[in-house]
């Protein structure tokens, strides 16, 4: 199979997986998602000779880098808009959540948000993208042992944060018998 055919097959088979990966990290902001996914496959096209036999974990690694670049760019644009005074607050468009809008299980997301970006990504790659340790290693650009250790440590830190932020449970009454 030629490099062009290999790329075409990877594109057909993995476009939607890469799109979902990016969308979950950009909270579904579709115009931004489409830009990042286009950049991922542009990089894949330029490096089509480097595509591995199992390209999805490699594509996730490319997507991580493209997301990092996009987030930096969006941050720069946002700061520019803020400096220009063209933000929503300046135009009276305030959206305030009511106190009872907390979603069920929000404390789990809060615990995840307290972790480092690296820990969050390791956990998301294994939970959302369902990567095994070997595939995780490819996506992270490290060896399998290092990926396994990163995953173990991230899970341990998440457990500690969950214990910190989880809602208190009502103690069970002892039965006297």
pLDDT digits (tens, 9 = 90+) for 127-142: 888 889 999 999 999 9
pLDDT digits (tens, 9 = 90+) for 69-103: 887 766 666 666 666 665 444 444 445 454 455 55
The per-residue pLDDT for 170 is: 42
The per-residue pLDDT for 75 is: 64
The mean predicted confidence, pLDDT, of the chain is: 81
CB neighbours of residue 114 within 10 Å: 16
The per-residue pLDDT for 16 is: 94
Q: Report how far residue 85's alpha carbon sits from residue 104's, in angstroms, rounded to the nearest whole number.
A: 36
158 vs 83, which has greater pLDDT?
158
- pLDDT class of 44 with cuts at 50, 70, 90: very high
Q: Report how far residue 148's alpha carbon sits from residue 11's, in angstroms, rounded to the nearest whole number.
A: 28
CB 36 within 8 A of CB 70: yes
Q: Which residues contact 40 (CB under 8 A, 6 or more apart)?
A: 18, 22, 59, 62, 63, 66
Residue 175 has pLDDT above 60, yes or no: no
Q: How would you write 132-173 as a 3-class SS string?
A: CHHHHHHHHCCCHHHHHHHHHHHHHHHHHHHHHHCCCCCCCC
The per-residue pLDDT for 135 is: 92
pLDDT digits (tens, 9 = 90+) for 6-27: 999 999 999 999 999 999 888 7
């Amino acid at each position: 199979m030629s490099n062009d055919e290999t790329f075409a097959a990877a594109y057909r088979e993995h476009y939607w997986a890469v799109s979902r990966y990016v969308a979950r990290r950009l909270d579904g902001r579709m115009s931004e998602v489409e830009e990042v996914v286009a950049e991922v496959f542009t990089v894949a096209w330029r490096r089509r000779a480097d595509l591995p036999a199992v390209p999805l974990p490699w594509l996730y690694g490319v997507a991580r880098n493209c997301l990092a670049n996009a987030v930096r760019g969006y941050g720069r644009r946002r700061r520019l808009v803020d400096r220009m005074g063209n933000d929503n607050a300046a135009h009276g468009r305030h959206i305030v959540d009511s106190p009872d809008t907390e979603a069920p299980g929000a404390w789990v997301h809060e615990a995840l948000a307290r972790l480092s970006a690296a820990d969050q990504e390791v956990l998301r790659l294994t939970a959302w993208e369902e990567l095994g340790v070997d595939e995780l290693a490819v996506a992270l650009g490290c060896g399998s042992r290092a990926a396994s250790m990163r995953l173990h440590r991230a899970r341990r830190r998440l457990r500690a944060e969950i214990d910190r932020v989880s809602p208190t449970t009502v103690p069970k009454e002892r039965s006297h018998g």
